[in-house]
Structure 1
Amino acid sequence: MKFFISRKERIILTAIEIISDLGFQGLSTKEITRRQEISDGTLYKHFKSKEDIILGALDYYAKFDDSIKESIEISRLSSEDSIKFFFKMMIEYYENYPAITALVVIQETLEHERNIGEKSKRIFNDRSNLIMHYIEKGKKAGELRTDIDSEVLTDIILGSIREIILKWRMSKFNFPLKERAMNTLEIILKLYR
């Protein structure tokens, strides 16, 4: 069975690969056209600018967020299981497409780019607010301690997962990301039950 990937999606995937290989500063339309073996005209037929390509990459980075949230709501999982499910799905996505994790570690860099920074911040805040929502829900349901600050626990969870992703990238993807991330998440949640 063959899967069809549109030219536009291939350009986005190439941009993500370039960011992963060369960093944000290495991303250029020239590098994209070279790797895709396309003309500038073909590139600009699909995107008005480099900024549009990066916005498309951010959309690609966050494309499963709504589906994961919907699955959690439909499944009526406990708060703790909701948090675990969210990260399990995200980590599986990252393991299947390691280059996408470059967008996790460059979020601070993206913050300084006008429209790109706004979109990056929105994705980050949406994920943070979702985890905080599940923590609050868990506190009300008696699943998590009520004496903890929900925002602090959210920061601990997200910061730990981000650190693990950074280490995974720096090790050239040399350890099982899902196992390390989920074990860390389990330890954190256990401390706050």
Structure 2
Amino acid sequence: MNMNNREINRLLSTDSQGDDLTEKQKRIVESAIEMFSEKGFSASSTSEIARRAGVAEGTIFRHYKTKKDLLLAIVTPVMSNLVAPFIVRDLDKVLKQEYEHYEDFLKAMVRNRHDFIRRHLPIVKILIQEIPFQEELRSQFINLVAKDIYRRFEKIVIHFQEKGELIQVPPSSVIRLSISSIIGFFFARYIFLPENEWNEEEEINITIQFIMNGFKAR
């Protein structure tokens, strides 16, 4: 993954102006993103990050007290400046549309998220790998993204239940199992088995049919 200085400043700026990072900080951040994405937070060491960045390990600790501080320095502004507004704004293209069937909505949502993941894969991998284990990141994601998306998703599910297209179960169950199946596809595709040969269109269709077989009214 190659990121230029402008991209790093844009991702990590915490206000509208954004304080420029030093050249060494930019190299540290870029190396940390690469390492966390490739190996995960726990398996990455500050010595490896320093070596890849071409700086002394002590330089990292002059800017970031701990490895976790480095992770949060990367992910927290990214969550606020890129992920939260981009996910919400980008998903608006899906959520604001009217669909004849729930299956059509699922297809649009999966393809929209698939495109987003491919364009921001290193950061997305860090978020996927670390949100379940880092309370600060989990709280940020819930507050900045999940609550808003859940409310809007719920309205769509209720709409199709009222049309008689989906079975009458709690909307939360439809949302939970739909999202679990979709995330399962993305986990397999990009985290567990990225080297496999994937027929992505076929796998997306299979995933959606699996969901519909469980929730479509007979």
Q: Equivalent residue of 2:35, what SS? A: helix
The match for 2:38 among 13, 16, 21 is: 21
Residue 109 (structure 1) shift: 0.7
Q: TM-score, normalised by structure 2?
A: 0.64
Residue 63 (structure 1) shift: 4.5
Question: Is 1:6 matched with 2:3?
Answer: no
Q: Which residue does the alignment assign to 1:187?
A: 210
- Stretches of structure 2 that go unaligned for 5 or more consecutive residues are 13-25, 64-68
Structure 1: how far apart are the matches of 2:130 and 2:38? 13
The match for 1:162 among 183, 195, 198 is: 183
Higher relative contact order, structure no. (Cα contacts within 8 Å, ≥ 6 residues apart): 1
Q: Which residue does the alignment assign to 1:92?
A: 115
1:4/1:18 CA distance change after superposition, 3 Å: closer
Count of aligned positions: 183
The match for 1:150 among 171, 175, 193 is: 171
The percent identity for this pair of structures is 16
Residue 159 (structure 1) shift: 1.3
Residue 89 (structure 1) shift: 0.7
User: How large is the Cα RMSD of the aligned pairs?
Assistant: 3.5
1:7/1:151 CA distance change after superposition, 3 Å: closer
Aligned AA for 1:107? I
Aligned AA for 1:135? V
The match for 1:52 among 73, 77, 97 is: 73
Structure 1 residues 105-124: aligned runs within 5 Å: 105-111=129-135, 115-122=136-143, 123-124=145-146
Q: Equivalent residue of 1:25, what SS? A: coil
Q: Which residue does the alignment assign to 1:136?
A: 158
1:38-68 Cα offsets, whole Å, 9 max, x none, are 7959x95xxxx52232213434444532223
- Stretches of structure 1 that go unaligned for 5 or more consecutive residues are none
Contact 2:131-2:137 at 8 Å conserved across structures: no
1:97/1:73 CA distance change after superposition, 3 Å: closer
Structure 2: how far apart are the matches of 1:151 and 1:164? 20
Structure 2: how far apart are the matches of 1:133 and 1:14? 42
Aligned AA for 2:134? L
State which structure, 1 or 2, has the greater radius of gyration over its C-alpha atoms: 2
Q: Equivalent residue of 1:6, what SS? A: helix
